[in-house]
A and B are shown apart, each in its own frame.
Chain A
Amino acid sequence: MSEHAATTQHTAADGHAVDIDKHVRIYITVFVTLMALTIVTVAISRFHLPVPIAVSVALLVATIKGGLVACYFMHLISEKKLIYAVLALTVAFFIVLMFVPLLTVHDGYWMRG
């Protein structure tokens, strides 16, 4: 397949100009950050912090890492409102699913004394 000369200005699927070189620079930066954060999270785990703190720190680091992947690799930072709306709805129900069964079981008879 032929290769044409690389130009830095390209058009994304939605018609707006995309500076690919800038994007690639961001991808490399994010990659390095993700590597660093991976080392960080493993290193912190060696301290065997009390479970609630360990969970909070690990989740925080994971959220940052996940956020970077979502925002930059998945281009979420420049996505359309419709996609944001769908994801906001999903996140709301995700939170319900995470917390409500837990609250219900722990508020229940079987967990008393």
Chain B
Amino acid sequence: MEIPYTVEIRRDTGLNNGKIAIWLFLASEVMLFGALFASYILIRTGSTSWPRGDTILNVPLATFNTIVLISSSVTMVMAWASLMRGRFNTFRVYMASTVLLGGVFLVVKYFEYSHKFHDDLFPRTNNFLAIYFTLTGLHMLHVIGGMAVNAYFLGPGAKLYKTNPVWFTNRVEHSGLFWHFVDLVWIFLFPTLYLL
């Protein structure tokens, strides 16, 4: 039994099932991170003093990480574009770059976190650090999740290209939407935590 519109478009909506599903999921993620940003606002406005981000956090390192993540967004969309052009090997290069850049992001975060712990700065130390670790920690979990999915499409999942290239291209596109969203969250997280 086949589920209709898994690959092909339903004419009156102009969408396939996966495209709707990923946007619905991203809508829920907007509310998830939104709640955390709202918490940040409430906690910060309710506190008597709040340190400026660059007095505690490493701005140059985070700026580098921002560049890394934005670059990975470009390689991600290029991976999809390569599939649209029918260039499977180019797709693999771009997808591998995306995963690699994600890895770089994680490594930098590892150094950031361990430096903080080394300086005796933990989530429990004060509310600034609490919200910093929680927001970036949850974001990091999303980076890991996105990397796992991308690695799947680079590795075992790539088999699908042989049998159903359209479906595979769509799935890479949907995975890319999630990855771009992760980048988008960081674009707001970075100034909020590090620069303000």
Q: Report A's interface with B, CB cutoff 8 A.
A: 1-4, 6-7, 10, 12-15, 18, 20, 23-24, 27-28, 30-31, 34-35, 38, 41-42, 45, 48, 51, 54-55, 58-59, 61-62, 65-66, 69-70, 73-74, 80, 82-83, 86-87, 89-91, 93-94, 97-98, 101-102, 105-106, 111
Contact = CB atoms under 8 A, between A and B. Distances in A.
B14 interface: yes
Given A6-B86, A14-B15, A73-B73, A1 B27 contact: no
Interface residues of B, number: 60
Interface stretch (B33-41, B108-116, B127-135): B33-41
Contact of A70 (B24, B54, B176, B184): B184
B81 A27 contact: yes
Contacts of A13: 9, 16, 19, 166, 169-170, 173
B58 interface: no
Q: Is the interface of B mostly helix, strand, loop or mixed?
A: helix
A80 B13 contact: yes
Contacts of A80: 13-15
Interface of B: 9, 13-16, 19-20, 23-24, 27, 30-31, 34-35, 37-38, 41-42, 45-46, 52, 54, 59, 63, 66-67, 70-71, 73-74, 76-78, 81, 84-90, 161-162, 166, 169-170, 173, 176-177, 180-181, 183-184, 187-188, 190-192, 195-196
B74 A97 contact: no
A42 B85 contact: no
Contact of A66 (B77, B78, B86, B184): B184
